[in-house]
Amino acid sequence: GTVVDISTQQPLSGAQVVIEGSQLGSLTDNRGRFLILNVPQTTVTVEVIMIGYRATSVQVSAERPAVIELSPTAIDLDEIVVTGVVGEQQARSIGNAIGKIDAAAMQEMAPSPDVQDMLSATVAGVRIMSGGGEVGTGGITRIRGVKSMTLSAQPIIVVDGVRVNGGDNDSDLACGVGTDCAQMPSRLDDFNPDEIESIEIIKGPAAATLYGTEASNGVIQIITKKGQRGAPRVNMTVRQGANWYPDVQNLWPTTFYRSSAGTIEEVNVLALDARDEYGLLGGGRNWFQTGHNQGYQADVSGGSDAVTYYGSLDWDRQEGVVSYNWKNQLSGRANLSYTPSEQLKLDFSLGAVRSRMESSSAQQPLPTAIIWSCPAPGCEPGSGLPNALDGPYRGYIAYLPEVYENEIEGFQDVDRTTFSLTATHSPFEILTHRLTVGGDFGNNRNTQLYKACGCLGTFQGFGSKEIAETRNTFITVDYQASSTYSPFERLGLTTSGGVQFYKKQQETNWSRGEQFPVRALETISSGSTRNAEEDFVENRTFGVFVQEQVSWDNKLFLTGAVRGDDNSAFGENFDFVVYPKLSASYVISDEPFFQESMGFINQLKLRAAWGKAGRQPDVFDAIRTYEPAVGPGGVATLTPSTIGNPDLQPEVGSEVEVGFDASFMDDRVGLEFTYFDQTTTDAIVAVPVAPSLGFPDVQFRNIGEVSNKGYELS
């Protein structure tokens, strides 16, 4: 058959068509057509789902192709949600707010260069705090504010059911590449927006109970594109763009100095360099450029009734406003689905990315040199001082632009692979269970080099090199089962449970060499002073949960759940934490009395939720530790490092949220409102240690509380 828009009669591409009660289905192609093979009956009921349209169920016959019309809707209560729920559920049954982004449609209308740009200003309560404008810079992701005094506020990132490293920074080499934490990269931007089908976001403990420990900051789930049945379908995309500063010389604030005659003089060092005012450069120089952005992407999808596939390959190059800021990234994805029978489906997802970035934050960025230029009183020409405008520093305090360009390098190399394998089995009509295993394996190499140039404008005149190599490993094993039973026609009961295991591991090797004898030597072993460090950190979580949902007439839904977790970072005297959850959803617009009295409101869902989730301590906060040292006579020994706390337990976030989802004007205008009130108890606080105990630094204790509340309207 064919799926079209009811108003325009234009074909709809990417609509999901599924035969009710089976795993058989298809996606519509560019002409809105779908084909489902090997259907045992000649007449079946199919459900058609597409983001932005009202879900529709119709009977389709094998003898006559059907034309299925979908009505646009600002809020779709029948769309399928997979984040924060067991298996798949319709949005109408969920009692908490869930943000959903149709990434595929967004990329067609207004393409985003990275995932964080896609998230920015699209979902209420989600904030991307940008650190800077250089190429490769990543922002800090926050959902409903900050909920801890000492722990990270980073939400959990999930890709196709598997937890991945989505950190705001690597902390490999002083917040990433170089020393400027405001210019740090984000691992979330390793994922290619063109490979993403949709993004789902749950925003706090009330919704994140099923994710347990670590989930109090919310969850972002990325769902990548899948194949569709039919002939191979190929898409190719070419992107071109530019980065530049408008009116460079007048962009930065002018510097002033007092001359020896007592007058106030104005200075623009960029303009002086562009004219080579004092003949120090051998010709005028403009230190900024127009960077060329380019990208090329191709993907193919297709398949048969039993096997569908999706594959993509993408290459991107971005150039910043200076020649030493650029990023090359090659990414690819292969997704495969196999449906050997109506009861069994296997989904495999594999993604890989290789990137290399040169970062201008490997040293103080050039704007710092401009803003700090012309220090008093030595800026005046003819003064004979090195910082004079006609002196060797040309008015710069210590940072010469040509040194940034030629003598300092800061690179980050990323080699990362993610995969997931999901088996969904429905042995009986009332029972479905699913097993997901997968991992995220990333290798990051950060390099910072100050060449032994002996030149002006650098504090590392004799050279230094620093390398930090980090290997991140994330492992997920997630088993869930769900049984649906209807004792009466209007009453539905869904019982669910599951077991989850997560492991995070980080290995870091750091080395540094200083004082190179000649400029040609650039290896750490060439330095007269050398240092090295090695770190290993591992964290494990094991959790179990059960959930019961009661539905009445597909309009009223009540859900209760409880989850228990154990985490390797808990104190020795604390073993297990329990997170409960309660929620209610009422689609009141389906009631006859509402339709008669409030007909101008097309859809209205009232919702409320309460729940708890947690955040475990940092890995070594609960453990008493010692560090190696050199003792008397050069003998190796140990000295006290951290006192630890055997009673340390996770921070527990509790949240209440209430709100509604409504649509008006024939479902063309949607309104979502949420009020939330979060409280973090047992917040971890760093408390100074009494010197008499013999341990330096602080002890972490559960003595704090954080309150966070607000409104969301979209």
- The torsion region of residue 554 among left (phi > 0), alpha (psi -120 to 50) and beta comes to left
Cα–Cα distances in Å, from 469 out to 355, 413, 448, 472, 547?
15, 9, 12, 10, 42
Q: How much is the pLDDT for 177? A: 38
What CA–CA distance (Å, rounded) separates 611 from 210?
A: 10
- Pick from 279-283, 346-350, 485-489 the range whose average pLDDT is largest: 346-350
Nearest-5° angle of CA 416, CA 418, CA 420? Answer: 170
How much is the pLDDT for 173?
Answer: 37
Helix (H, G, I), strand (E, B) or coil at 173: coil
Q: Give 164-172's long-range contacts (Cβ < 8 A, gap of 24+).
A: 164/418, 164/440, 164/474, 165/440, 165/442, 165/472, 165/474, 166/141, 166/220, 168/138, 168/139, 168/140, 168/141, 169/138, 170/444, 170/446, 170/470, 172/444, 172/446, 172/468, 172/469, 172/470, 172/508
* 30: pLDDT strictly greater than 90: no
Helix (H, G, I), strand (E, B) or coil at 634: helix
Beta strands 307-319 and 326-341: pairing type?
antiparallel
CA dihedral 116, 118, 120, 122 (to 10 degrees): -150
Residues 6+ apart with CB under 8 A from 228: 26, 27, 28, 29, 301, 302, 303, 308
Higher pLDDT, 442 or 105: 442
Mention every residue, 6+ apart, whose C-beta is less than 8 A from residue 703: 683, 685, 687
Q: What is the pLDDT of residue 235?
A: 92
Tell me what pLDDT residue 105 has: 83
Contact 108, 330 (CB under 8 A): no
Average pLDDT of the segment spanning 201-220: 84
pLDDT of amino acid 170: 44
Q: Are 84 and 201 in contact (CB under 8 A)?
A: no
Q: Give the model's confidence band at 174: pLDDT under 50 very low, under 70 low, under 90 confident, else very high.
A: very low
User: What pLDDT shows up at residue 436?
Assistant: 97
Distance CA 89, CA 74 (A): 19
As a whole number of angstroms, the distance between CA 309 and CA 512 comes to 46
pLDDT tops 70 at residue 459 = no
pLDDT band per the 50, 70, 90 thresholds, residue 377? low
> What's the pLDDT score for residue 713?
93
Reported confidence tier of residue 137, pLDDT bands at 50, 70, 90? confident
Q: What dihedral angle (degrees, nearest 10) is formed by the CA atoms of 156, 157, 163, 169?
A: -90
Distances 22 to 8, 48, 58, 68 between C-alpha atoms, Å: 31, 14, 15, 20
Mean pLDDT is lowest, of 126-130, 290-294, 477-481, 672-676, for 126-130
The single-letter DSSP state of residue 13 is: T
Q: Residue 401: left (phi > 0), alpha (psi -120 to 50), or beta?
A: alpha
Residue pair 173/468 in contact by the 8 Å Cβ criterion: yes
Dmax (CA) for the chain in angstroms is 98
| Residue 171 banded pLDDT, cuts 50, 70, 90 | very low
Q: Which domains does the chain have, with CATH numbers?
A: 1-72 (2.60.40.1120)
CA separation for the pair 399, 396 (Å, rounded):
6
Give me the chain's average pLDDT, please. 88
pLDDT at 221: 93
Nearest C-alpha neighbor of 29 from the set 224, 231, 311: 231
pTM: 0.87
Instruction: Look at residue 175 and tell me whether its pLDDT is greater than 50.
Output: no
Question: Containing H/E element for 357?
Answer: strand 344-358
Give, as one character, the DSSP assignment of residue 538: E
Alpha carbons 258 and 380: distance in angstroms, whole number: 8
- Write down the pLDDT at residue 74: 77
Instruction: Give dist(CA 94, CA 208) in Å, integer.
Output: 12
Residue partners of 172: CB distance under 8 A and separation at least 6:
444, 446, 468, 469, 470, 508
Helix ranges, 154-294 (H): 205-208, 248-251, 269-275
pLDDT (average), residues 2-16: 87
CA distance 459 to 481: 61
Is the previous residue joined to 377 through a cis bond, with omega within 30 degrees of 0? yes
The pair phi, psi for residue 632, each rounded to 5°, is: -60, 140
Q: Which of 71-80, 144-153, 154-163, 241-250 has the lowest mean pLDDT?
A: 71-80
Q: What is the end-to-end Cα distance of the chain in Å, rounded?
A: 36
Mapped onto helix, strand or coil, the DSSP state of residue 218 is: coil
